[in-house]
Homo-oligomer: A and B are copies of this chain.
C-alpha cells in the first residue's frame, strides 16, 4: 500500500477536506481496452471504424472529453476541479481497441478519477455504437498508468 495506511475508518461518506493542500500541476493517464469478436472487428476495420451511428473514433473521443469534465457530478466523493486540458487516444489493435485518456489540472487534488472516467466512458460509447453487431463485447484493463503532481507519483 502506497500511503495513508493508518486512516480512521468511518461508516459515513464524506468529501474529504483538501483545503490545506497546495495547488500543484496535476496530470494523470488511464487506459482500457474494448474487445470484439473477430468477425465484428474485421468488419469495423474494413469500414474504417465507421458504423450506421457514425465514426466510432471521433464520437468516443468526444464522449470521453465530456465525461472527464462531469467526473465530480458522477462520482459522489470527487472534488470539482477546473481541468486545463484533456486528450483521448483511441488505437485499434488486434480484435480490440485501446483507449487512453490524459487529464491535466492545476489543483489541490489529483485527476486520476477524471482520467479513469474519461477512458471508461469513451469505451462505453464504442460499446453503444457497436452493440447492433454483437453483445459479445467486453471492456477490460481499466487502470491508471501514470499520475504526477501530488503527494506521491505513480507509473512513469
Q: Is the interface of A mostly helix, strand, loop or mixed?
A: mixed
Give the number of times this chain occurs in the complex, counting copies.
6
Residues of B close to A117: CB separation below 8 A? 124
Q: Is A98 an interface residue (CB 8 A)?
A: no
Residues of B close to A62: CB separation below 8 A? 13, 58-59, 62-63, 76
B133–A2 touching, CB < 8 Å:
yes
Residues of B close to A73: CB separation below 8 A? 66, 69-70
Nearest residue (CB) in B for A58 is: B58
A97-137 interface with B by 8 A CB criterion: 104-108, 112-113, 116-117, 120-121, 123-125, 127-129, 131-135, 137
**A-B contacts besides A15-B87, A82-B107, 10 pairs, CB < 8 Å:** A7-B132, A8-B52, A13-B58, A16-B53, A54-B77, A55-B58, A66-B66, A75-B121, A75-B128, A80-B83
